[in-house]
Amino acid sequence: MPRLATNYKECDQHERAYQAQDAIFVARKRSVSAKKVKPMRWVKNVGLGIKTPDAAIEGNYVDKKCPFTGNVSIRGKILKGLVISTKMKRTIVVRRDYLHYITKYRRFEKRHKNIHAHCSPCFAVKEGDIVTIGQCRPLAKTVKFNVVAHEAQRTKTGKKTFRMF
Amino acid sequence: MTRIGEKRIHEVRTRGGNKKFRALRLDSGNFSWGTEVCTRKVRVLDVVYNASNNELVRTKTLVKGAIVVVDAHPFKSWYEGHYGVKIGIKKGRVDAAAAAAAPEEEEKKKSSHVLRKLAARGKGRTIEDAIDHQMASGRLYAKITSRPGQSGRCDGAILEGPELAFYLKQLKK
């Protein structure tokens, strides 16, 4: 059972501005005799039966776009797809394959759509993994989804196979 | 856009008939000292750091998230009144301050009730070294948390703890 940290652990400060969660008062005086100790990390339950990962609760990263430790809500569509690229900073490209029916020939054709999704540091995502993404408010020009669950792939099916979910 | 100077605020009519207050020049704001839960209206003296753009520091532009230098006297006098302890005394002047304080205290006699109240407040009272230093020079570092171009106000919070340490290091660079 992961527990919320009671001691403040600063995250790696790579930016020029101080990175900290909005909801936590970092400079709070921790009294010696406090009976109820307030945690120094803010985590929320995303809802819709989604389990918040241990890495989000125990970690000390700061990501305002993370669905568990940041200020975004997951609502609308929940989709599943295959990860094809993880080269962007904290965002990934997810590929969704589907079959489109041509009425004249009574057959199907393969089509796909790429979706850009924000990927929180609590998920260690590699290319070829299966990922569940949830719709959220626009986070960037092309990013309107957020990674909400992750299923690593051991078998090297790679990112070129057609897989419908 | 918002510089330091005598208050100059333009009202803008926005969508839906609502108002926005575009502050063009501001000189003071409501700053809060988090750990002591004390908020005072103080003068903004200087812009010292901006994570987004150094140009905004050079032109002394007040924006949300900018680190500014703020007058410390209202906080200092509140602290001394609340706890009855002098803070921000420079090392060389400790003897002089003690000598000056002695005759003053003889004039103002505090009732036992007041003394008990001060003693209760004094329990668990700590002051950060870095803030004590800043009090001595009469200037505190603070971060602006309001949006002066939208609300017309320059409000913020005094930097403390890890955040203060971080920005002091950035300022040294």
Domain that holds residue B149: 2-172
Which chain B residues contact residue A15 at CB under 8 A? 51
Q: Is A7 on the interface with B (CB under 8 A)?
A: no
B55-75 average pLDDT score: 95
Of A18, A31, A32, which has the smallest distance from its Cβ to B163's Cβ? Answer: A18
Across chain A, what does the average pLDDT equal? 90
Backbone angles phi, psi at B111, to 5 degrees: -70, 160
Position of tokens 């759509």? A113
Chain-centroid distance, C-alpha A145:
9
**Partner-chain contact B166 A27, CB within 8 Å:** no
Q: What is the DSSP letter of A51?
A: P
Read off the pLDDT band of A92 (50, 70, 90): very high
Residue with tokens 């209206």: B41
User: Is pLDDT of B1 > 70?
Assistant: yes
Residue B66 has pLDDT above 70, yes or no: yes
Q: Give the DSSP per-residue string, B45-81.
A: EEEEE-SS-HHHHHTT---TT-EEEEE-HHHHHHHHH
Nearest neighbour of B163 by CB, restricted to A15, A20, A29: A20
| Residue A80 in this model has a pLDDT that exceeds 70 | yes
Residues B154-161: what's their mean pLDDT? 93
Token couple for A10: 């600063």
SS3 B172: helix
Q: Is the pLDDT of residue A86 over 90?
A: yes
CB within 8 Å: A28 and B163: no
Residue B83 has what pLDDT?
87
CA A23 to chain centre: 19
On whether ipTM exceeds 0.85, the answer is no
Tell me the H-state helices in chain B: 54-58, 73-83, 94-107, 112-122, 129-137, 148-151, 161-172
Question: Considering only CA atoms, which of B114, B29, B40, B126 is closest in space to residue B76?
Answer: B40
What is the per-residue pLDDT across A27-45, written as a single tens digit (0 to 9) for each? Answer: 887 766 667 778 889 999 9
Q: Which of A:77-106 have CB within 8 Å of B?
A: none
Asked if residue B41 has pLDDT above 90, the reply is yes
Do the Cβ atoms of B162 and A8 come within 8 Å? yes
Q: Is the pLDDT of residue B97 over 60?
A: no
C-alpha separations of B137 from A62, B76, B87, B132 in Å: 34, 11, 11, 9
Which H/E stretch holds residue B10?
Answer: strand B8-13
Q: How far apart are CA A27 and CA B13, in angstroms?
A: 39
pLDDT tens for each residue of B108-119: 778 888 888 888
Domain count for chain B:
1
Classify B51 in phi/psi space as left (phi over 0), alpha (psi -120 to 50) or beta.
Answer: alpha
Q: In chain A, positions 10-69, which contact chain B (CB-CB < 8 Å)?
A: 10, 13, 15-18, 20, 25-29, 31-32
Confidence of residue A51 (pLDDT cuts 50, 70, 90): very high
In 3D, which of A129, A163, A123 has the Cα closest to residue A147? A123
3-state SS assignment for residue A93? strand
**In the numeric block, which tokens belong to residue B108?**
């103002």
Tell which residue, B128, B113, B60, B141, has the closest CA to residue A18.
Answer: B141
Q: For position B20, which CATH number holds?
A: 3.10.290.70
Tokens describing residue B160: 């403390």
